[in-house]
Structure 1
Amino acid sequence: MKKILISACMLGDKVRYDGGHHLIDHPVLKRWREEGRLVPICPEIAGGMEIPRPAAETQCKFPILITTQTGEDVTPQFLTGAEKTLEIAQRERVSCALMKAKSPSCGNQRIFDGNFSGKLVEGSGVAAAELMRNGIPVFNEKQLNELFAFVEDSERIPA
């Protein structure tokens, strides 16, 4: 049975920057949780950030720079969180990840543009990018059907 890395906020853990969560109430995810297949992680907490914490956005990709709205550089915490996320994913031998869209850590397709204006740009958060660079597919909450199909397909193929 394959394991799936999941953003802890999607399991109802209050780990988001504002102390909230993004619980996804879906029967497949409930079943996977009961089966012990979900591996929760919050890369920002793993990187040493607190709850609550100021919102942060990616200012620059090369070199990477992530700051709060007041200009505090939180890049080191985000990079540490990404490294720890990858370590856990590899140790647990996850087949894929379900991570929070738009997050500077977890977003897999689009992230906020760095101006704290709510505008999105193409790109990935640092943890999601680290996973994908290492061959671990990342899905977001708008891609549940694709995630379910991927897991189902991967379980039909012998390891």
Structure 2
Amino acid sequence: DKAIELGAKGGVNYKEAGWEKKLLAQLPPGKLAFDAIIDGAGGDIIEKGVRLLKTGGVISVYGMTVSPKMNFVAQAFLKNIDVRGSTMGSRKEFKDMVDFVKSNEIHPVVWRVLKTSLDDIAGIDTLFDDMNAAKQFGKLVIHFGDATGDSKL
């Protein structure tokens, strides 16, 4: 729901049973599969993606927050699925991305900002609690600074 409020045409919660069927049901009439999947979770995305993608589809993986392992299934070969991994790229690519974000005024979704000091371990732990409970939708930010807002790091 939050992603749709931000402009997504659809979406599902991957933690819900049967999310793949719910996602396929959101395709436009006459379209039977997706062209591409962009995934930051990892885990079983290749296994699930094979059922969601058209032949020759692409899975682009930029993170592995669910699991650092992905099982590659034979069906991915049979459907000519292209799996691409990405890191942050080169320094130039990172600079180009930062420039693009600035020039297009793209702002990340920030769930919570904790203004604190390095001594506030209990406060910082609350952010990890939010992550472990999957409460957040967006970035969790720790701001180390004094009253002027300047970081000392």
Name the TM tier (shorter chain): under 0.3
TM-score under structure 1 length normalisation: 0.27
Bigger CA radius of gyration: 2
| Structure ranking higher on relative contact order (CA contacts 8 Å, 6+ apart) | 1
